[in-house]
Structures are given as C-alpha cells and as structure tokens.
Amino acid sequence: MNDQSPNSWESRADAHSFYGFTDLPTIEDRGAVILTHGKGPYVYDVHGREYLDGNSGLWNMVAGFDHPGLAEAAKAQYDRFPGYHAFFGRMADQTVALSEKLVEVSPFSDGKVFYTNSGSEANDTMVKMLWFLHAAEGQPQRRKIITRKNAYHGVTAVSASMTGKPYNSVFGLPLPEFLHLTCPHYWREGMDGENEADFTARMAQELEDMIAREGADTIAGFFAEPVMGAGGVIPPSEGYFQAIQPILQKHGIPLISDEVICGFGRTGEVWGCETYDFMPDAIISSKCLTAGYFPMGAVILGPDLTDRLQKASEAIEEFPHGFTASGHPVGSAIALKAIDVILNEGLLDNARAMTPLFEEGMARIGEMANIGEVRGKGLMGALEAVQDKATKMPFDGSLSVSERIANTCTDHGLICRPLGQSIVLCPPFIITPGQLDEMFGKLEKALTQVFAEVA
C-alpha cells in the first residue's frame, strides 16, 4: 500500500488528477502508483520501489524506458526544428522521410500516409476518409461501419462507437450506423459441439447476413484488429480473415487493419495482417510507431484508397481534416529511429526469440486449476481466470478477481493488466530470459495467493 498521508505524492495525485480507465476502489484503498523513471523494462516509484513492467507501458514501450538512441533522436530534432504542422503544403523533412519509410515497410506496393496524435484519432480519421470518399463517388449513403464485439478502436466519439465494449453506453454510444459482429473468440463464443472450422464459417455467415440485412450499399468499411488487444488478447479463429475478406471484396467494402497494438512486431511479424496472411486496404498505426516516446498515429493507405481519396480531394481542392501536431517533426524523427531500432537493431529478432519462452511460461501457468484459457500470439498473451475450468464458469464479478491479481502482482513488483477476468501480458521486446522467469515467478505467486482467497 502506498503513502496516503495528506502531502504525499499519492494524495496530491488524488486531489487534482481525474483518472481514466482506473479502478477507483483500488485508488481509494491503495492509492495511485506514482512513477519517477525507468530503466530497461523496469519502472520506479517515488518510494524507490522497482517494478517489472509486463505490459510495456500501454503496449508501446517496446524498447524499454531509457533507450539512448530514441532519446538522442528526440533531443537532436528539438535542437534542429522543435515543432511544426503539416497544413497548407508545408511539412518537416523528417515527416516526408517517415512517410516514405512507412510505405516501404508496409505490405503495400505504394500508398500515402496521414498523421494524427493517437490511434483513436487515426481510426476516427479513417472513418471520415471513408465517408468523404463514398460521398465523392456518388454513394453518400455508405456510412455504416462494421466492427466486432469486444474490439477496441479508441475513445473519440467515432472510435468509441467502433469499440465493442459495453462501458461506452454511459456516454450514449455507439452512435447510429456503427454495427458490431460476434467476437471471433472460439473458446468463449463457440457453441456446444461446434469445431473451430464450423465456428469460423458461422462468423463469416454472420457477416454475410449483416450485409444482406443492412444493404451492401450502406456500408462504408470493416475495421478489425488482427489480434484483439484491449479485448483481452483474442486471436481470431483459424481461417477467420480468409473467410471474411472475400465477402467484403464481393461487396466492395474496404477492410481496415487496426494495427495500433499489433503493428511493428508484437505478433512476430512486422504487421499483424502479415501474421494472419491477409491484405487490408489501409493500416492504422500508433503505439510502437514511436516505441512510446512520442504521441503519434498514422493512417497508411494502400494504393486503391490512395488513388480514390486523392481524386475526391482534388475535386474540392483539399481534404478538410487535420490536427495541429499532425506529422510533428520531433515525433517523425523519433518514429524513424524507432522503426530502425525495431527492424534493424535486433528488437524484433529478440521478440521472436523470446516468444517460445513466453509461450512456455504461459502454458505452465495455464495448468493452474483456476486458469481456463491461455491465449495469445507472438509476445502478447492472456490468462483467463475461471471459477470452474471444466464448465468455463467465470468468477462472480463482485470478487474483482483480475483487479485482485493485478494489485497483488504490483505488491510483488510486477505490473500486469486486468481485462475482464483475464490478466494480460505484453512485455517489451528487449525482455531477457531471466526477466521472463522473474515475470512468471511473480505472477505465479500472485495467482496462488488470490486463488486461495477466492476459489
């Protein structure tokens, strides 16, 4: 438990900070964790306590918290050209170079890039692009956006409407014209006696039925994370994208790959769409784009959408959308360095090398009586806590099992993330075998302690 005396950092935080996505009973009981610095995959609080961050910050700090090359890239660019916009035909040279690099490392043969400050804004921007494009092509009724239940695409009004989470109902969301299909989670959503191939076929038929019911000529696009991240690290069922993409293509519906979490190596390939062998029409990028060292998002357009959007914009002489810090020169310089660090300085190679050890540790913990499912891809995984393994029955929600586990892990010096009744792990790409052992050792102690209390 942290210091909650009147003048402590924790009390000062509570007095003037409005928390987002934070379990408030935990704050009331334990106080916030106030951090001062980081070293490698570790962060340190105001009391000098060390924590192994098993979640890479928020999926993004893949190079750790003190990478000298990334800090130097930021400092050099601040000295050279500390800020600018990308409006009115003016942008920084580093932004031009980053656009070239992103198209080069994308799966596309050609394309263009539009910058935002976050993944939420990038998804929001992509929706506006689709609405704009369809209207310019004489189909203004094509406005409906299809996503999946339990998907996470952001927190702006539009991207929150795409996010298939029930908590958005407190904001009166989703907005009209946002549609949600079944989450492609075979373990939880599969019917009795239904094998995985049959489940995938049912998911594809559900999409076909929705398109028939709504009208293909009313649908603007389909957005999907290759692996659902904030939904609880949910990989798609076998053959899922191969089943749905032909349906979308038949009806002329663009497929947008939301790679905010999966992009730049988290699933073992540069892009999650490469891991699952499908070609999207556009990619949404953020988080690992700058290795967490700068807030930046990007819409990477494939050649077809590039040509169509360019034509639509030329018809009215502009694309009337953008943000003050879009294509920020410091963010662009950091992103160029981050891509180089991930792809050419061994981070992706190490992530691939550590994946078998990560999977072994997850599988070992998965043998515990109250772990119902172990799932994941690459260096991201989730452990689903259950009251009864045989029936997949979850714990009563009033027990707040995943919050208890996460809090107990914090007491043991490990940061992990509770999502529903799952515990999520996505360590930095710099993680070592010894640090993986440390992570799983601390997690196992916490799980044993909590399950003894609630099971």
- Residues in contact with 242: Cβ distance below 8 Å, sequence separation at least 6, in sequence order: 277, 278
What are the tens digits of pLDDT across the range 337-369? 999 999 999 999 999 999 999 999 999 999 999
What are the tens digits of pLDDT across the range 225-267? 999 999 999 999 999 999 999 999 999 999 999 999 999 999 9
pLDDT at 321: 97
DSSP per-residue letters across 156-201: SHHHHHHSB-GGGGGGT-SPTTEEEEPP--HHHHPPTT--HHHHHH
pLDDT at 418: 95
pLDDT at 1: 62
Q: CB of 365 within 8 A of CB of 374?
A: yes
What are the tens digits of pLDDT across the range 382-395? 999 999 999 999 99
Under CATH, which architecture does the 70-344 domain have? 3-Layer(aba) Sandwich (3.40)
Q: 443 by DSSP, 3-state: which?
A: helix
User: Which of these, 452, 361, 369, 367, lies nearest to 405 by C-alpha position?
Assistant: 452
pLDDT at 3: 77
Residue 413 burial (C-beta neighbours within 10 Å; 0-12, 13-18, 19+) = middle
- Global confidence as pTM: 0.96
Q: Answer whether residue 2 shows pLDDT above 90.
A: no
Residue 344 neighbours by CB distance under 10 Å: 10
- CA–CA gap between residue 72 and residue 152 (Å, rounded): 33
CATH code, residues 33-66+346-454: 3.90.1150.10
Which secondary-structure segment (H or E) carries 301? strand 297-301
Q: In the block, which residue shows the tokens 């913990």? A: 365
φ, ψ of residue 410 to 5 degrees: the values are -60, -40
Q: CB of 292 within 8 A of CB of 61?
A: yes
Mean pLDDT calculated for residue range 408-414:
97
Q: CB of 278 within 8 A of CB of 353?
A: no
The CA angle 5-7-13, to the nearest 5 degrees, is 95
User: Which of these, 387, 392, 393, lies nearest to 370 by C-alpha position?
Assistant: 387
Q: CB of 304 within 8 A of CB of 280?
A: no
* Same fold for the pair 33-66+346-454 and 70-344: no
For the chain, the domains span 33-66+346-454, 70-344
pLDDT at 4: 74
Q: Answer whether residue 419 shows pLDDT above 90.
A: yes
pLDDT at 228: 98
Query: How confident is residue 213, by pLDDT bands cut at 50, 70 and 90?
Result: very high
- To the nearest whole number, what is the mean pLDDT of the chain? 97
Q: CB of 168 within 8 A of CB of 160?
A: yes
